[in-house]
A and B are shown apart, each in its own frame.
Chain A
Amino acid sequence: MSKFNREEHHRIMQKHFGIITTPGQFTVALAGNPNVGKSTVFNALTGLHQHTGNWPGKTVDNAQGSFTYLDSSFLMIDLPGTYSILAHTVEEQVARDFICFGKPDATLVVLDATCLERNLNLALQVMEITPHVIVCVNLMDEAIKKNITINISALQKELGVPVIPTAARNGKGLDSLRHALYEMSIGITHTTPRQIHYSPEVERAIQELTPKISRCIGNALNPRWVALRLLDGDSAFIDSITHYLDLENNRKELAV
């Protein structure tokens, strides 16, 4: 990101999400289903450097914590635990809006190794929004106990983003996690996030909408994903777009 973009980013974070970063600090969003040890990961990475509050205008908890790795400072934002980010609940909306409009430098999706299949839904949805995703397969120790073997390198190939196995309770895998977050934040990780294949009728509808969407909102958001939200009839999302993007457009127009 250029200097200007970083400032802009800083401004949006503060204005819309009440998150204040120090100059040069990277932001990491932490997403995951409930009960997958997301908080354990959060606590293990940030230690005591945490503070909690609310999302602006929402009665949803917001916990932030910071840590330093290889002289870089990171601010980690713990998103509410959700099963999806299709925004059927306020929690889902908060998580989605942050990933989508807050544009964190990296989004860490924590998955439960013992029920990976169900958890993958969230990872796939996040990967539709942003390529800056790191998948953390937590509770590996539990999975081994339950005789579940997960082929991490195959999973990484399937998903096209870094996959880190952890057992956060025992502190296992946390170093690799920090390193992956670092590499992604400084921009040396290249990902090819797997896109969800939809059934033909959905794909056809997407094709119909995407050209118009990209003409309207430019590359601020993934047009394919916006098309999906519109097809889902998600009116809250349209509100979000106008709320977050119009402000930016107005400002830019003023600047020009």
Chain B
Amino acid sequence: MPADGTVDVMDSTLTPDLPSPRDSSRSGTALASRPPAVRLEGLTKSFGDVHAVRGLDLTIEPGEIVAFLGPNGAGKTTTIDMVLGLSRPTSGSVEVQGLTPHEAVARGHLSAVMQTGGLLRDLTVGETLQLVGSMFVDTRPVDEVLHRAGIAEIADRRVGSCSGGQQQRLRFAMALLPDPDLLILDEPTTGMDVEGRREFWAAIRADASRGRTVLFATHYLDEADAYADRIVVVRRGRVVADGTSAQIKAMASGRSVRATWPGADLAQLRAVPGADTTEQRGDTVHIHTTDSDAVARYLLTSTDARDLEIMSRGLEDAFIVLTSDEHSDDVVERTAR
């Protein structure tokens, strides 16, 4: 990784040696001959004066697990609706497996787990799956998707009396019926408790190990970090960063230094080269810095500071840096190139 913090992130999407253990389950299909799972070119969507998506380019190769990460209002759901054919782009093009979204859906190549709704309360879990399964030409057996989604034991329960997490796993089971090449999840764990989220992701993960392409939108950083091979950060309808979790973290370069220092002299501390921001909470000082060595050396040799800790920034910090409005546009240019 370059030391200056700039990462030519787009390269990572084309690098064939990305860690992908799932390749083993693929039966030797020539990757080069297959169309990308998703190809978005110059995608825009405006609602009157509101420009929700403003020129988004994204290519997802078969087998990737991609997190679409961004704050609320970044254009994630609007983009996903266009990929699914639920809404039409104002300009630009969408291709799924080389087809239009409608064709991809009708032929069972593409399916999705939506955030809410989309279920009939007066059907049972099993009936819902029978119903949806009956519409496709090729489907997996209902029993199989029930097991894979981990809801076999509630097959006879009315949808209306299922918990939010169970309903979400039912949506997942429905999405598995056509055995899609591409599965899209739009903030799938919104409103779930911790246990529900964990179980849901365990089911998704077990499934993804079979070689399916997965694109999920989320504003939970830990989900993107834990489950995606690749993170695409969107802000204001554009891709602002694209790379592995480690690469995204590295973009918000620098570390934070924390120390106990009663009577801290912040003015003096700010004079230390590389100390970007300083903050005092009680007897503790926090310094964000691009040169943690210099700050630590200064603190330990020239002051009474003790209990010193140096931490690298997490994905959360990277996310805030990349998506905050103060984030300067030249950085956007640099990372999105």
Chain A complexes with chain B:
no
Binding site for B on A (CB under 8 A): none
Chain B interface (Cβ < 8 Å from any Cβ of A): none
